[in-house]
A and B are shown apart, each in its own frame.
Chain A
Amino acid sequence: MTAMLNIKDLRAYYGQVQALHGLEFGLNEGSLTTLLGANGAGKTTTLRAICNMVRSTGSIEFDGASLSGRSTESIVRLGIAHVPQGRGTFTTMTVEENLQLGAITRKDKAGVTSDIERMYDHFPVLKERHTQQAGTLSGGEQQMLAVARALMLRPRLMLLDEPSFGLAPLIVRDLFKILGKINREDKVTILVVEQNAQLALELADKAYVIETGRIVMSGSAAEIAGNEDIRKSYLGY
């Protein structure tokens, strides 16, 4: 089976500093994969490289087509939604406007309206606050809004950068439950970058471990979680 997203020999640079050193991995359609690793291992850079938000070389193929040389916005238009670290909420706009922005590239007005309703079903708290400025939401609510905004694109692939960051454990569990549901029911392929390895491995079906810009381990989530050596040396729990 060919992968939906295929990454080969990915190298990324911040100025003169190389952050990724020939990364290789693939994502199968419909999978929920997690990319694990310590601070500074290159997880965020990998996501940013996929969306061409950092200078990189190597090949990134989505559905067999190369993404290199495409602008961030045109990559997003292919159906790749990216929930960035820090959520990227448009804080001065209302919750509803944030959702509309998620669907700004879509032409089907009726579909967008019904999708907004669907998001309110997934995340009832957003419905309660739909006219409120997004900046007034709590951290957890903003993270839900960010996920909902990404889903408004009707993406085929969703990239999440540390969705658990700064959230209370209970809220993280809720969020991850919803992510699993989205993956199963809406058939959205998900790649989630996490420092909270334990939780991410419970959720994912496949996992990669990244260290100093290279993939050092891969396998099913259960395998990785079951291997005490890996857990101790790379994942820290």
Chain B
Amino acid sequence: MSAADEVANEARPVEATPKRAMTLGIGASLVMLALLIIGPMFVKNFIVFQLTMLLIYALAVLALNILTGGSGQFSLGQSAFYAVGAYTSAILIEHFGVNYALTLPVAGIICFAFGYLFGQPALRLSGIYLALATFALAVAMPQLLKLGVFEHWTGGVQGLVVTKPDAPFGLPISQDRWLYYFTLVVAIGIYIASVNLLKSRSGRAFMAIRDNEIAASAMGVDVALYKTLAFGISAGITGVAGGLGAIAVQFVAPDSYTITLAIALFLGMVVGGVGWLPGSIVGSAFIIFVPNIAEEVSKGLSGAVFGVLLFLVIFLVPHGARQVAMVAQGMLGKLRKG
């Protein structure tokens, strides 16, 4: 009795999301897809670039969502995986002349391995401790990238410039548009794979761990394996996003991948709705556009606006965009009946 008594009622790391609620219906998916395909045809190159970043960050948020919403583990260290992916792509392109498209799977695999390895010690941590450990990783990463030992490859503090790819086969579209569609294809591929992953046996194992780790292990789920696997997969996807980011921005430098990026991705997940994969793009839009708009209103104000909006989300729609979508769906349903 004595030992068990000491345990305070621990708060859940994340609220459970039922499996079906993690994805989008077919109709809504098609509308979204059409928007993503047609939209960029009519806007300026700079906006196309921003939309590319929107997709890239959405991928990174999605990756975090698989980790947190899927398996219930925190991470404030996604920027580290993003950085490793970005540097992998940049180094392969610039030092080895590898085709940019081929660098992405390499970035993914390297980050998967990195995440899987980091997941090993992280196994023993949960909740706030895991948040702290990953936070530490995110803070340490830029310093590690600056190390003199790697300078020949990483370019040290200066970073590396990455060449922007041209559209292949002489297609008559700008580099920005080409990169957008390239990113879109990768993003859709990863999204579909993620949805299927969560529907699979592994996905069920993730969710069992998220909802009750001890019960999951009692049911025969290899908790250690699946937790590290979740870390690996999440890191792998983040790495691909990082690689795409390096190509889109045409530049990598240690200070582009600070803890601020990790926090932004975390907030993107909260705003999009934890465990709701389509929300990743909403969250991504939040972290890309809100600071820009706030900065235009008044310099230095963006932090405050960001914070206030975040509190509003937490208080009014604690389930983020998922909640908004569900309310909207409910209203639509009523309209149809009425």
Chain A residues packing against B (C-beta within 8 Å): 86-89, 91-92, 135-136, 139, 142, 166
In this complex, how many residues of chain B approach chain A with their Cβ under 8 Å: the count is 5
Residues of A within 8 A of B6 (CB): 91-92, 135
Which A residue's beta carbon lies closest to that of B1? A139
* Docked CA distance A83–B5 (Å): 15
Residues of A within 8 A of B3 (CB): 135
- What is the interface of chain B mostly: helix, strand, loop, or mixed? helix
Chain B residues packing against A (C-beta within 8 Å): 1-3, 5-6
CB of B2 within 8 A of CB of A86, answer: no
Q: Which 7 A-B pairs have the closest CB atoms?
A: A135-B2, A91-B5, A91-B2, A91-B6, A139-B1, A89-B5, A92-B6
CB of A136 within 8 A of CB of B1, answer: no
Q: How far is the CB of B302 from chain A (nearest CB, A)?
A: 40
* Docked CA distance A179–B1 (Å): 23
Residues of B within 8 A of A91 (CB): 2, 5-6
Which B residue's beta carbon lies closest to that of A88? B5
- 20 A-B contacts, Cβ less than 8 Å apart? A86-B1, A86-B5, A87-B1, A87-B5, A88-B5, A89-B2, A89-B5, A91-B2, A91-B5, A91-B6, A92-B6, A135-B2, A135-B3, A135-B5, A135-B6, A136-B2, A139-B1, A142-B1, A142-B2, A166-B1
* Docked CA distance A92–B1 (Å): 13
- What is the interface of chain A mostly: helix, strand, loop, or mixed? loop
* Docked CA distance A142–B3 (Å): 13
Which A residue's beta carbon lies closest to that of B4? A86
* Docked CA distance A88–B8 (Å): 11
* Docked CA distance A192–B15 (Å): 37
Q: How far is the CB of A139 from chain B (nearest CB, A)?
A: 6
* Docked CA distance A134–B6 (Å): 11
* Docked CA distance A136–B5 (Å): 12
* Docked CA distance A135–B1 (Å): 8
Residues of B within 8 A of A139 (CB): 1
Residues of B within 8 A of A88 (CB): 5
* Docked CA distance A139–B3 (Å): 12
* Docked CA distance A186–B1 (Å): 30
Q: How far is the CB of A113 from chain B (nearest CB, A)?
A: 27
Q: How far is the CB of A216 from chain B (nearest CB, A)?
A: 32
Which A residue's beta carbon lies closest to that of B5? A91
* Docked CA distance A171–B122 (Å): 46
Which A residue's beta carbon lies closest to that of B6? A91
* Docked CA distance A166–B5 (Å): 15
Residues of A within 8 A of B1 (CB): 86-87, 139, 142, 166
Q: How far is the CB of A143 from chain B (nearest CB, A)?
A: 10
* Docked CA distance A137–B141 (Å): 49
Q: How far is the CB of B304 from chain A (nearest CB, A)?
A: 35
Which B residue's beta carbon lies closest to that of A92? B6
Residues of B within 8 A of A135 (CB): 2-3, 5-6
* Docked CA distance A136–B6 (Å): 12
Which B residue's beta carbon lies closest to that of A134? B2
* Docked CA distance A192–B241 (Å): 62
- Apart from A87-B1, A91-B6, A166-B1, what are 17 other A-B pairs with CB-CB below 8 Å? A86-B1, A86-B5, A87-B5, A88-B5, A89-B2, A89-B5, A91-B2, A91-B5, A92-B6, A135-B2, A135-B3, A135-B5, A135-B6, A136-B2, A139-B1, A142-B1, A142-B2
Q: How far is the CB of B1 from chain A (nearest CB, A)?
A: 6
* Docked CA distance A94–B2 (Å): 13
Q: How far is the CB of B3 from chain A (nearest CB, A)?
A: 8
Q: How far is the CB of A26 from chain B (nearest CB, A)?
A: 33
Residues of B within 8 A of A89 (CB): 2, 5
